[in-house]
């Protein structure tokens, strides 16, 4: 279902899904631009006030390429041939969750899934902030507890200093042996 992919693989907020238009999608370049959202029936800039560009995950890219309709500029359309309201998007998601025998949640849970997967895959906090469209790094930090190897990988990938060792005889001073 397209709603699940927009939330789970692009991290879009419900209002961003509702406002997303075909002109925001570049299938050839594999990117999606978030320039607007709908909040309580009013269109405006996305939360955080800035547009962001996201790479399209392969499944989302494929779904968008096969989903194209001619009803209007928006990606999502309700049965009344209009962009859906938030309640409709919630209903679509709940229907998909029931079909998968999952507990019903809000579309925002998909956004948490998106951010959590970024953290678990070792994406830097700054890149995660940019992809999620968080204005504050503090908001992004909520997901960092899910990156258990972050500290270990930082230590393992740092530049290693030369190894000190004694390469001479007992009567010579120690020298640096570079490993």
- Orientation angle between helical segments 125-132 and 108-120, nearest 10 degrees: 160
Task: Give, in order, the Cα–Cα distances in Å from 86 to each of 23, 70, 105, 111.
Answer: 21, 22, 13, 15
Expressed in angstroms, the distance from the first to the final Cα of the chain is 53
Task: Give, in order, the Cα–Cα distances in Å from 173 to each of 161, 162, 178.
Answer: 20, 17, 16
- Indicate which residues carry an active-site annotation: 13, 47, 108, 111, 134, 143
SS3 14: helix
Residues 6+ apart with CB under 8 A from 11: 54, 110, 111, 114, 115, 131, 132, 133
Rounded-to-integer distance, Cα 164 and Cα 155, Å: 19
């Amino acid at each position: 279902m397209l709603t699940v992919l927009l939330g789970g693989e692009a991290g879009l907020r419900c209002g961003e899904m509702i406002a997303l238009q075909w002109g925001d999608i570049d299938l050839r370049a594999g990117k999606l631009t978030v320039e607007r959202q709908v909040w309580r029936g009013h269109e405006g800039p996305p939360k955080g006030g800035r547009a962001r560009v996201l790479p399209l995950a392969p499944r989302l890219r494929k779904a968008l390429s096969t989903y194209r309709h001619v009803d209007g500029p928006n990606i999502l359309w309700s049965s009344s041939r209009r962009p859906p309201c938030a309640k409709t998007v919630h209903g679509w998601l709940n229907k998909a969750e029931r079909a998968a025998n999952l507990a019903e949640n809000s579309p925002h849970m998909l956004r948490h899934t998106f951010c959590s997967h970024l953290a678990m895959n070792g994406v830097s906090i700054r890149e995660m902030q940019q992809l999620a469209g968080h204005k504050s790094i503090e908001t992004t930090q909520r997901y960092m507890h899910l990156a258990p190897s972050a500290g270990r990988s930082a230590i393992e990938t740092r530049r290693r200093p030369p190894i000190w060792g004694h390469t001479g005889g007992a009567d010579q001073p120690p020298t640096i042996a570079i490993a």
